[in-house]
Chain A
């Protein structure tokens, strides 16, 4: 019993210390950071955060990131819903191969796609818009959403579909009014993972944007200035990129185990 608690405490400490260090730095002045190591900010300053919230080139990055993440989540889940239904309910020509092919895209290295995406989205005029990043992230998020939703849908007995058909529901009405509420937690889990993978990815997001749609994570490289690194500002920006993820986790904390129980991440 005590051994287990000890392992857990050690592990969580290991996870939290680097994050604490970032938070710690974000509340210090650059002078305090560079003059000597202090375990906690001796003179707390919110100046770094104020810079971020008042400079549009900083907070614009957040808006850009959240925009393409939201677009991507909506597209991924929206398109995956009917497809997952097809996979969970019917056999059709080439279904197994199609499923494997979809999944294999989840495993494709973004580095392979960086350059061709750059060409592709430049050609169609979407370069440097949130849409480019949102569509690019569909490459791995759509297959993922299909996979997760298919698992949840297969857990719903097919008799429900048949009963609804007998009761005179048209297919779209059945799907929206009856079926989707039944797999609501599955939709939540799928949306969570789409959010997560779109939010943390940077290689494609950076390649497909230059100025207007630059994600926050890429904006952080700006902290290198003539007078050296602005460490405090860098740390504050880093802390702020952790916040949306932390909020999302907090809201779905009771579903985390369930989502992972699917074993379908």
Chain B
């Protein structure tokens, strides 16, 4: 399993390194630069040190209060999203048909929301939820609910959560489905012979085998819901009031709306650091989750080879860390 050490491999990585550095490092340097300066317009900048960061991280200030409110809002949103989408995605994956033309049909229909531009997703739900011309808004009002996503905080959150469930649950479901597909039939047959109940099959075979894809699903869903911008911006614009102003929306408001470059830059850096930290935790957990599998070099001792998917699937993520 050990790969040869060869620093000439860097030559192959240089183009990727260059383009990502161009896109990531240069802008980040700008951001860092802004974050320690203040401006009164006219492109005149003054050294401000860590002043913006102090203000940002102090809930008593205007900026800090706004930041923490948006942060908790975003975290709450991510928590709700994970609590709904992960179980629902698993249930949907377990409900996939086993074979036949319906499999392809289900896959295509499920993947459809994933390929709709994000602002169109916002638009679809904006229309769908309106009381006058939208089926859902009209229906809910007819049923006697006082539903208006531009007026009520609950209605706004309900619509955004429902929209995100509509948009992204399929991703979790597809990941889980792929994980389920890679379980050899022999496991199910052995479970039947051992007299296992449906629930026991789920907890002893399916869930453990899905662990890795589930981790990835949780990571992706957490990250993307934590960064959500376009869909709620189109749907509610952050309102009513600030009820659905998530971190991204707030950031864009400060940066492009008020052109408060210093504040926006400081917020960007803190925001990015939070994401980097969470990312690192997941990366470590995932590396360890992979590590207690392929510890031995004996390929037979690991997973049974699966012919439906390329061999790459059985290779744990941890080779780089091993």
**Direct A–B contact in the complex, CB atoms closer than 8 angstroms:** yes
User: A65-79 CB contact bits vs B (8 Å, 1 = yes)?
Assistant: 000000000010001
Given A7-B92, A91-B3, A96-B321, A114–B116 Cβ distance below 8 Å?
no
Q: Which of B253-274 contact A (CB under 8 A)?
A: 255-256, 261, 264, 268, 271-272
Whole-angstrom CA separation of A234 from B226 in the bound complex: 28
B94 at the interface (CB under 8 A from A): yes
Contact of A93 among B10, B12, B312 (CB under 8 A): B10
The answer to whether A25 and B3 touch across the interface, beta carbons within 8 angstroms, is no
Q: Which residue of A lies closest to B214 (CB)?
A: A263
Contact of A112 among B8, B181, B182, B251 (CB under 8 A): B251
B123 / chain A contacts, CB cutoff of 8 Å: 220, 234, 238
B151 at the interface (CB under 8 A from A): no
The answer to whether A250 and B13 touch across the interface, beta carbons within 8 angstroms, is no
Contact of A242 among B17, B112, B169, B319 (CB under 8 A): B112
A95 / chain B contacts, CB cutoff of 8 Å: 9, 320
Given A115-B255, A231-B127, A265-B216, A138–B19 Cβ distance below 8 Å?
yes
Give how many A residues have a beta carbon under 8 Å from the other chain's beta carbons.
103
Given A114-B252, A250-B108, A263-B212, A86–B13 Cβ distance below 8 Å?
yes
A164 / chain B contacts, CB cutoff of 8 Å: none
A-B contacts at CB below 8 angstroms, number: 317
B4 at the interface (CB under 8 A from A): yes
Contact of A151 among B97, B178, B272, B315 (CB under 8 A): B315
User: B1-43 CB contact bits vs A (8 Å, 1 = yes)?
Assistant: 0111111111011011101101110111011000000000000
Give how many B residues have a beta carbon under 8 Å from the other chain's beta carbons.
104
B174 at the interface (CB under 8 A from A): yes
A19 at the interface (CB under 8 A from B): yes
Contact of B133 among A79, A216, A231, A248 (CB under 8 A): A231
Using a CB–CB distance below 8 Å, which chain A residues touch chain B?
3-5, 7-8, 11-12, 14-19, 21-22, 25, 33-34, 37, 39, 75, 79-80, 82-83, 85-87, 89-93, 95-96, 98-100, 102-105, 107-117, 119-120, 135-136, 138-139, 142-143, 146, 151-155, 185-186, 196, 199-203, 207, 216-218, 220, 231, 234-235, 238, 241-242, 244-246, 248-250, 253-254, 256-258, 260-265
